[in-house]
């Protein structure tokens, strides 16, 4: 093989390695502290699990009680005290969208994290109670929205009442909890 042919053969490999090194360097420069990465991973797991449950409620995915329960358990395991623990100390840091108000309003943040877990636990119980179908017992009933939704509605104590409501209602209240938490404790990127 001529020297010129060897150079041509190695050129694509050299470019691939250079691109890989550049990508690694860029990723390292963009890296976030481990606790922020753990938060982001947990939030993504919650979002993916909620999408899975939502698809079953919407009928775009067939109901599977085991998958429904697994999604609910993912949310439950990432919420409550586990979620609160990820936001201990100074929460504002590189790569984080957490608001400093978490520190000053710790009780409210912790309550939302616990509520999220209570609603997820209710969904898990609903999957156990409904192994074969997402039937009427899991669906919202007349008056559910008035009893727990919206800014003017009577607030529900999630820890005491989540398992007594329909799974769909618990799911909607869980999503409202996420929205409330993000509105108050998440800084949007500019």
CA 27, CA 163: separation in Å to the nearest integer?
43
The pLDDT value recorded for residue 27 is 41
> Which pLDDT value is given to residue 62?
97
* Cα–Cα dist 94/119, whole Å: 31
Residues 15 and 62 placed together within one structural domain of the fold: no
Q: Which two tokens stand for residue 79?
A: 């919420």
150/103 same-domain check? yes
Backbone phi and psi for residue 98, each to the nearest 5 degrees, phi listed first: -70, 140
One domain, residues 99 and 27: no
- For residue 167, being part of any structural domain is answered with yes
Same domain, 177 and 104: yes
Give a yes or no: residue 46 inside a domain. Answer: yes
Please give the pLDDT value at position 150: 47
Q: What is the pLDDT of residues 160-186, one digit of tens each?
A: 566 678 999 999 999 999 999 999 999
Tell me, yes or no, whether 115 and 21 share the same domain.
no
Which one has a higher pLDDT value, 93 or 70? 70
The three-class DSSP label of residue 98 is strand
Phi, psi of 65 (to 5 degrees): -60, -35
Q: Which residues pair with 186 in a beta bridge?
A: 98
The answer on 61 and 27 residing in a single domain is no
Same-domain status, 175 and 82 = yes
Report which DSSP code applies to 93.
-
Q: Are 80 and 117 in contact (CB under 8 A)?
A: yes
CB atoms near residue 86 (< 10 Å): 19
One domain for residues 133 and 172: yes
SS3 74: helix
pLDDT value at 28 more than 90: no
pLDDT greater than 70 at residue 145 = no
Query: For residue 153, is it within any domain?
Result: yes
For residues 146 and 173, membership in a common domain is answered with yes
1 and 40 share a domain? no
In a domain, 190, yes or no: no
pLDDT at 143 over 80: no
Question: In whole angstroms, what is the distance from residue 178 CA to residue 169 CA?
Answer: 14
Instruction: Give the residue numbers spanning the domain of 147.
Output: 33-185
Asked if the structure places residue 23 within a domain, the reply is yes
Q: How many domains does the chain have?
A: 2
pLDDT of residue 105: 94
């Amino acid at each position: 093989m001529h020297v010129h042919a060897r150079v041509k053969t190695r050129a694509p490999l050299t470019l691939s390695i250079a691109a890989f090194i550049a990508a690694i360097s860029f990723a390292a420069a963009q890296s976030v502290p481990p606790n922020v990465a753990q938060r982001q991973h947990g939030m993504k797991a919650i979002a993916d699990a909620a999408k899975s449950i939502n698809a079953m409620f919407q009928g775009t995915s067939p109901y599977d009680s085991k998958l429904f329960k697994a999604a609910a358990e993912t949310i439950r395991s990432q919420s409550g005290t586990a979620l609160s623990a990820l936001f201990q100390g100074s929460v504002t840091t590189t790569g984080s969208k957490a608001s400093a108000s978490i520190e000053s309003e710790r009780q409210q943040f912790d309550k939302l994290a616990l509520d999220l877990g209570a609603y997820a636990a209710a969904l898990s119980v609903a999957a156990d109670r409904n192994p074969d179908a997402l039937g009427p017992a899991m669906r919202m009933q007349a008056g559910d929205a008035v009893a727990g939704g919206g800014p003017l509605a009577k607030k529900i104590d999630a820890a005491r009442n989540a398992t007594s409501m329909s799974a769909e209602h618990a799911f909607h209240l869980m999503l409202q909890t996420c929205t409330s938490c993000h509105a108050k404790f998440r800084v949007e990127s500019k």
